[in-house]
Each structure stands twice: as structure tokens, then as C-alpha cells.
Amino acid sequence: MVIELTRVALERILAEAERALPMEACGILLGRGSRIEQAVPARNVHPRPATHFEIDPQALVDAHRAARAGGPEVVGYYHSHPAGPARPSKTDRAMASGDGRIWAIVVADDVTFWHDGEDGFAELSYIVADG
């Protein structure tokens, strides 16, 4: 599967990861199907935000409510690895739910995308689109 994301969403992911340093940034990916239209930052509420992330549950509730009201779907999540590779860590793999959503992982200016499937993470190709 190839996903498409807007340039604005990609730039937001990169900017939020840089802004959060030395902590992990996190947020929600909104769009339709395999198209990511927005990256919405969320507060990292994990007790150890330098090495872990947990998206603020209220941000998730709000995003799902907005989707049910006709807004964009929650297609996935993003987070940064301030001191690691742009691939799922052991902790990421342990926390993954296999729900089919997209995960974006960012390190510096490198962003990778992953499908969180029943058999674990599979790397995704992506294209950046304007608009």
C-alpha cells in the first residue's frame, strides 16, 4: 500500500518533532482511507516523555467524535524518536494494537510510515501531495 499525505501534514509532523526535543512528540493523523490530510499535535502524557509517548486520551476522544460528526477519519498516529531510528522500537511493537492504522515515526528530518497490522508493523511507501 502507498499512502499519500499533504505537504502541510508532513511539515507539521517535522516541526512538532523538532519543537518537542528532547522529548518525544506525538499526535493524530487525520484524513480518508490511505490519504493523510492533517497532522494534529497532542500532548504527550507518558510519565517518561523523553523515551516514550502516550497521546493525550482527550485528544483521541475529540478526534473520534469529530470523525463521527462527519469530519476527517483518524487514520493513524505519529510520534518522534529523539535518539533512535525512524522505525518501530520494541516499546512501539509492544504497544501496537494491530488495528490497521498508520503510524508515522520521525527522527530529525526522516519520516517513515508503518501499517499496524495483525502481524505487526509493515513499512509503507508514501507520496507527498500539495493541498
Per-residue pLDDT band at 1 (split at 50, 70, 90): confident
Give the structural domain span for 25: 2-129
Residues 102, 125: contact at Cβ < 8 Å? no
The mean pLDDT of the chain is 94
- Residue 74: the pLDDT is 97
Count CB atoms within 10 A of the CB of residue 65.
Answer: 10
Per-residue pLDDT band at 95 (split at 50, 70, 90): confident
- Residue 116: the pLDDT is 94
Kindly report the CATH number assigned to the domain that includes residue 18. Answer: 3.40.140.10
Query: How many domains in the chain?
Result: 1
Torsions phi, psi of 38, nearest 5?
-145, 150
Per-residue pLDDT band at 131 (split at 50, 70, 90): low
- The tens digit of pLDDT for each residue in 103-128 reads 999 998 899 999 999 989 999 999 99
Phi-psi region of 120 (alpha: psi -120 to 50; beta: other; left: phi over 0): left
Phi-psi region of 93 (alpha: psi -120 to 50; beta: other; left: phi over 0): alpha
- The tens digit of pLDDT for each residue in 32-87 reads 999 999 999 999 999 999 999 999 999 999 999 999 999 999 999 999 999 888 99
pTM: 0.94
The b/e string for 33-62 (b: 16+ C-beta within 10 A; e otherwise) is ebbbbbbbbbebebeebeebbbbbeebeee
User: What does each C-alpha distance from 68 to 34, 63, 71, 123, 130 come to in angstroms?
Assistant: 18, 9, 7, 28, 26
